[in-house]
């Protein structure tokens, strides 16, 4: 039997179990990187080994620490905590050597394993977040940051990230992880990792042909073959690579695909192009571009029943709009890697 005080406490508990949805205002999302990354939350960045996850995270961390735009998007300035659990301090410094003035930036790194699934680990991160006024915490990688649970089990996977998710209510936490298998479209281990995250970003690598593809930090760039990345430089300037990010999560802004042009590990520029309208001539032209072999404007004109001049004009418009980018005869479309012959 409950006494009067216990009864009132139990009644209050039950009364507060549910709330009318209309009592909560619908606020606009706030961003750490405008339109790209939310101000708070748990984000998983997943990709193939050596696909460029650490390079991308490094560029994001630099933009946040400096308060400078990332790929043309405004960034909120703040401190950064980096758990570099697969790199030494020297290796981390080597990645960041292209940036200037890093000694003065509020970026704090550690090799010490801070288990993100324990109260002590979260307490340590909370302490240093306050000390550094951190807006961003990078965990690189997830496998080296927890106390040893199996991530294949759904309950264990959620338990591993639950404390980190609570900590992310006041800042953005970026966790680096692998894909289920090379070229897969989901995060490795349990799908519960994706379920608990605010946002999941899949770093897509172009399909390999003949050789493995390189990440920005390896120096491999667009080469002669339209589907290969080779360390070719033109007039001392590295040819760009296309970085494609498939994002999904809670909120409209999270469910989109981003395309960036990168010339080195810390250099990213956005392709702000509107996809071609389905059924339009531009969309039909993009559909004809083959990632494995070049195609001439004359052949495209023959396939689509248009004049060569019309096709060439449309190709020029696509390049100007950003739907096609590249150098000379080599183009990377908004959707795939291809080569167009004049």
Residue 166 phi, psi (nearest 5): -65, -40
> Exposed, middle or buried, 36 (CB in 10 Å: 0-12/13-18/19+)?
buried
Q: Model pTM greater than 0.85? A: no
Neighbours of 34 (CB within 10 A): 14
Residue 179 confidence (pLDDT) = 93
Place of tokens 């080994």: 49
Closest CA to 201 of 106, 96, 60, 27: 60
Here the tokens at position 197 are: 């995250």
152 vs 130: CA distance, rounded Å: 33
Please state, in angstroms and rounded to a whole number, the distance separating the CA atoms of residues 330 and 340: 6
- Cis before residue 141, ω within 30 degrees of 0? yes
Here the tokens at position 120 are 């002590």
- CA torsion sign, 81 to 85 to 90 to 91? negative
Q: What CA–CA distance (Å, rounded) separates 251 from 254?
A: 6
- Closest residue by Cα to residue 215 from 34, 14, 49: 49
CA distance 113 to 143: 11
What is the model's pLDDT at position 254? Answer: 83
DSSP track, 238-272:
EPPEEEEEEEEESSGGGSEEEEEEEEETTEEEE--
Q: What is the pLDDT of residue 170?
A: 94
- β-pairing verdict for 172-178 and 237-238: unpaired
The first and second tokens of residue 259, run together, are: 């395309």
Greatest Cα pair distance, the chain, in angstroms, is 88
Q: What is the pLDDT of residue 321?
A: 57
Distance separating alpha carbons of residues 5 and 27, to the nearest angstrom:
38
Do 81 and 138 meet the contact criterion of CB atoms below 8 Å apart?
Answer: yes
| 301 in Cβ contact with 310 (< 8 Å) | yes
Q: Scan for tokens 């960036």, then name that residue.
A: 260
What does each of the 342 residues of the chain score in pLDDT, given as a tens digit? 567 888 889 999 999 899 888 887 777 889 999 989 999 999 999 999 888 999 999 999 999 999 999 998 999 999 999 999 998 888 888 888 778 777 789 999 999 999 999 999 999 999 999 999 999 999 999 999 999 888 999 999 999 999 999 999 999 999 999 998 887 889 999 999 999 999 999 998 654 433 333 334 333 333 332 333 333 333 444 556 778 888 999 877 788 878 788 878 898 987 654 456 777 888 888 777 754 456 778 888 899 999 989 988 888 777 665 555 443 444 444 334 344 444
Q: Is the dihedral of CA 262, 263, 266, 272 positive or negative?
A: negative
CA 320 to chain centre: 25
Q: Residue 246 to residues 182, 257, 326: CA-CA distances in angstroms?
A: 15, 5, 21
């Amino acid at each position: 039997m409950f006494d009067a005080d216990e009864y009132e406490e139990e009644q209050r508990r039950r009364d507060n179990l549910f709330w009318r949805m209309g009592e909560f205002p619908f606020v606009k999302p706030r961003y750490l990187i405008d339109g790209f990354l939310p101000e708070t939350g748990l984000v998983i960045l997943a990709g193939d080994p050596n696909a460029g996850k650490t390079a991308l995270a490094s560029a994001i961390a630099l933009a946040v620490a400096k308060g400078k735009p990332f790929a043309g998007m405004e960034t909120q300035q703040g401190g950064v905590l980096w758990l570099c659990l697969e790199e030494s301090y020297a290796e981390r410094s080597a990645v960041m050597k292209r940036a200037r003035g890093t000694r003065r930036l509020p970026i704090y790194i550690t090799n010490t394993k801070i288990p993100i699934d324990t109260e002590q680990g979260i307490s340590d991160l909370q302490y240093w977040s306050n000390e550094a006024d951190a807006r961003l915490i990078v965990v690189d990688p997830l496998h080296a940051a927890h106390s040893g649970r199996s991530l294949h089990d759904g309950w264990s996977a959620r338990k591993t990230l639950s404390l980190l998710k609570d900590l992310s209510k006041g800042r953005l936490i970026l966790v680096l992880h692998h894909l289920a298998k090379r070229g897969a479209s989901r995060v490795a281990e349990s799908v519960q990792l994706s379920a608990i995250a605010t946002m999941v970003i899949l770093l897509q690598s172009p399909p390999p042909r003949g050789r493995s593809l390189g990440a920005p930090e390896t120096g491999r760039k667009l080469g002669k073959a339209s589907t290969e990345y080779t360390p070719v430089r033109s007039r001392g300037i590295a040819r760009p690579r296309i970085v494609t990010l498939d994002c999904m999560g809670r909120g409209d802004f999270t469910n989109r695909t981003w395309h960036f042009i990168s010339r080195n590990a810390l250099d990213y520029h956005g392709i702000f192009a509107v996809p071609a309208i389905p059924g339009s001539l531009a969309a039909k032209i993009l559909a004809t571009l083959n990632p494995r072999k070049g195609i001439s404007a004359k052949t495209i004109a023959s396939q689509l029943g248009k004049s060569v001049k019309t096709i060439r004009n449309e190709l020029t418009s696509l390049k100007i709009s950003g739907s096609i980018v590249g150098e000379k005869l080599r183009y990377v479309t908004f959707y795939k890697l291809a080569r167009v012959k004049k």
